[in-house]
A and B are shown apart, each in its own frame.
Chain A
Amino acid sequence: EAGVAQSPRYKIIEKRQSVAFWCNPISGHATLYWYQQILGQGPKLLIQFQNNGVVDDSQLPKDRFSAERLKGVDSTLKIQPAKLEDSAVYLCASSLAGLMLAKNIQYFGAGTRLSVL
């Protein structure tokens, strides 16, 4: 079974430029998450989708970050314009996440390492 796919693996941009990340979840996984992991810290949730609807985007800096999951499968996360403090690894995860599941294991992709200069 294929895992969570993310691209690109690395991206270097200058501040005020825009950047987009792509994620394809595990087939059949209804829930998709984007996390930001700053160096030396654990991942922090940015946004959660259930199918193509947003469940939680309370920690997404909406003035510069946007995300979409058209057709309830793959997703893109965009930053426009980027700031120096956006330098981080952006991780995508997916899970089956049905209401009746006792546990909700999230499976992660390899991430995109963003450097903003």
Chain B
Amino acid sequence: AQKITQTQPGMFVQEKEAVTLDCTYDTSDQSYGLFWYKQPSSGEMIFLIYQGSYDEQNATEGRYSLNFQKARKSANLVISASQLGDSAMYFCAMSDNYGGSQGNLIFGKGTKLSVKP
């Protein structure tokens, strides 16, 4: 069965510094997708970044980058130049079928990021 593990319940980072949020996954599928979502206190899950299992380059979206190490089954999120508005819960998720017509997401337990001024 697929599984996502986020080992950091909480993280602190100083404003303007970079931070890495850890995510490891377990799957026997060859085709899969990896996602990161942000959940502020308002409750909405906001899509941040996606990495496909066959993508050779690490995904980047603005200040977000995904450090994808397939052999180690890790998909860490790197946030550069942290801002106060980055304070939120961050969830790593995985989909099967490479995001095909099912593409159900399995989520980790999340990491609470707090940005200090």
Which A residues contact B (CB, under 8 angstroms)? 31, 33, 40-45, 48, 50, 55-56, 89, 91, 93, 95, 97-99, 101-111, 113
Contact = CB atoms under 8 A, between A and B. Distances in A.
A38 to B, nearest CB: 10
Contacts of B98: 102-103
Contacts of A97: 101, 103
A72 B85 CA distance: 36
B91 A42 contact: yes
B45 interface: yes
A103 B102 contact: no
Contacts of A99: 100-101
Contacts of A95: 103
A103 B33 contact: yes
Contact of A42 (B44, B99, B104, B107): B107
A67 B57 CA distance: 40
Interface in B64-102: 91, 93, 95, 98-102
Nearest to B37: A108
A101 B98 CA distance: 9
A89 B44 CA distance: 10
24 contacts: A33-B104, A40-B109, A42-B91, A42-B108, A42-B110, A43-B45, A43-B105, A45-B104, A45-B105, A50-B101, A56-B104, A89-B43, A91-B43, A101-B99, A103-B99, A104-B103, A105-B99, A106-B105, A107-B47, A108-B37, A108-B45, A108-B46, A111-B44, A113-B43
A103 B52 contact: yes
B16 to A, nearest CB: 29
A108 B39 CA distance: 10
Nearest to B112: A40
A95 B98 CA distance: 14
